[in-house]
Homo-oligomer: A and B are copies of this chain.
Amino acid sequence: MQIQSLSQRKREAVRRELTVIAVDLFARDGYEQTTVDAIAEAAGMSKRTFFRYYASKDDVVIGKWQTMGDDIVTRFRGRAADEPLIDALRAALDVVVEHYADTARQSASSAFDRIIAETPQLSARFLYEVSTIEQRLAAEAAETRPEIPPLRLRALVGAVGACLLAAMADVLPEHPEGLGRALDHVLAETVVR
């Protein structure tokens, strides 16, 4: 099963390299202080070429959450339609839980998160990505569970998302591996089944 062409794979490699370089600079000098010119120069390319790999400076940092969103939606789609909605959503969010449980990329991941948290512009973009994921999940759920009214659907998905964000804020800085447990706990505590 060959999904990606060779050129696409190369493109992904360049994007990854660009991300590493950029995040390094962001961590060292701050996001706003780091110009796209500086990133491009550090990566040995022109500013114009940088923008052919990333549509904006934001995307370098936010990209991770776009792919995470795709994975979450995909996993949600794999759940049975007769499973209680909360459980299906919780299962889909294992994508995030597993991501943070992976100790290998832990330091890299926390660098991303710190940059996002420190930069209002990026925090806003991040919340927008989250809300996009929620919308996709709600749309998906509307098809598989037509008996649930849209308002209830949106609220439930949003509430579960809020629990994830709360758990992340509470747990990630100290013990990221405890995210799953924290999420289960807070979910049971605040969202009606």
Contact = CB atoms under 8 A, between A and B. Distances in A.
Interface of A: 120, 123-125, 127-128, 131, 150-152, 154-159, 161-163, 165-167, 169-171, 182, 185-186, 189-192
A contacts with B: majority SS: helix
The quantity of this chain's copies bound in the complex is 2
Residue of A120, A155, A162, A191 most packed against chain B (CB within 10 A): A155
Leading 6 A-B pairs by shortest Cβ distance: A158-B162, A124-B128, A154-B166, A155-B166, A127-B127, A159-B159
B128 A154 contact: no
A175 to B, nearest CB: 13
A186 B127 contact: no
A38 to B, nearest CB: 23
Contacts of A190: 152, 155-156, 159, 191-192
Given A163-B155, A190-B156, A190-B191, A127 B120 contact: no
A156 B165 CA distance: 11
Contacts of A170: 150-151, 154
Nearest to A120: B128
A155 B186 contact: yes
Contact of A182 (B123, B151, B167): B151
